[in-house]
Copies of this chain bind each other. A is one copy, B any other.
Amino acid sequence: MTAAPDWNWHGGAVEAAKRHFGGGNRPWLDLSTGINPHCWPGADTIAIDWHRLPEREALAGLEAAAAAHFGAAPHHVCAVPGSEVGLRLIGRILGGAAHHVAPSYRTHGEMFAGTAPIARGEARAFAGTLVLANPNNPDGHVTDTASFDAMLAGREGWLLVDEAFADCDPAASVAHRVQDEAPLIVFRSFGKFFGLAGVRLGFVIAPAPVLAPLRALLGAWPVSAAAIAIGAAAYRDRGWVEAMRERLFGEAAALDAMLGRHGFAPKGDCPLFRLIDTDDAYDLFDRLARAAILTRPFADQRRWLRFGLPGSGEALDRLDAALAYD
């Protein structure tokens, strides 16, 4: 009996996988998330003032650095301790009925008490409050500008765009379109592109009437001294950002080529992960786990398996070999 349904939650549970599948002392290859395997390199050397409360100016500096990276106005940008809590708090603040594009990130279905799934094809014409991810997770689909134009024109409810995976391709983002008069809210994640998910840092980009109650719920020190110091420095490191974008697209192409050699047709326009469709993804998940490779199955989609980037030629070869073993 497959164990795959136990691993369909959020990914990243490699310690639990070690306990379940064993694998001896061999290091696990964790491909179960969309977190960049190449971390921004400054996190371990940057000085963190753990002692004092973060000052308001330091928080404003982080938000300004992030805003410049997003192409958004700084006064629309609010730092939150992870985009996960940002999604949930905004759902609570807005309230009311909503729809969320499915399939997508699990939390989108938990933001609003009265939410219902809607197919991507129907979402474009839906004028009520709508949650979608761009790029989407897990299929990596990128919604184009014309679709956003259509969704924003004459909109009645809120359009909530989760851009947790948008850093690889800034052209896909609508963060610059947030304004006080438009019903658009954008969510960004620090940890995925910068490979630093343990920092817990995200951003809500929203009109002032939404940010005011959000800031009131968070209080004066919403994120840690580490999130401020590491986040501000990383967002300002434009050379690293540019080089990383190019590197990730290259590595995704190599993953695509390898998966293609095994007969898969990987989907996705975000280079941080790829989705495959196969006869029995649970069986493939189990086989890979027995080779100490953790991937991401889905509870209600037995044909799907998602792969994060292996991060090195050696890791890619290891996945290649495990896929060849039948």
Contact = CB atoms under 8 A, between A and B. Distances in A.
A49 B198 contact: yes
A89 interface: yes
B57 A15 contact: yes
A201 to B, nearest CB: 8
Nearest to A39: B51
B81 A81 contact: yes
Given A39-B50, A53-B33, A55-B13, A199 B216 contact: no
A58 B13 CA distance: 11
Interface string A83-116: 0110111001000000000000001001000000
Contacts of A13: 55-56
| Band of interface residues on A | 35 or more
A10 B84 contact: no
A44 interface: yes
B200 A52 contact: no
B12 A219 contact: no
A197 B52 contact: yes
A164 interface: no
Contacts of A254: none
Contact of A216 (B110, B197, B230): B110
A223 interface: yes
A133 interface: no
A13 B59 CA distance: 12
A10 B216 CA distance: 15
16 contacts: A10-B53, A13-B55, A13-B56, A15-B58, A30-B52, A44-B48, A44-B50, A50-B196, A51-B197, A53-B191, A81-B85, A85-B218, A107-B219, A197-B221, A199-B226, A200-B223
Given A12-B53, A15-B57, 9 more contacts: A16-B56, A44-B50, A51-B195, A82-B221, A88-B216, A197-B221, A200-B222, A224-B227, A226-B226
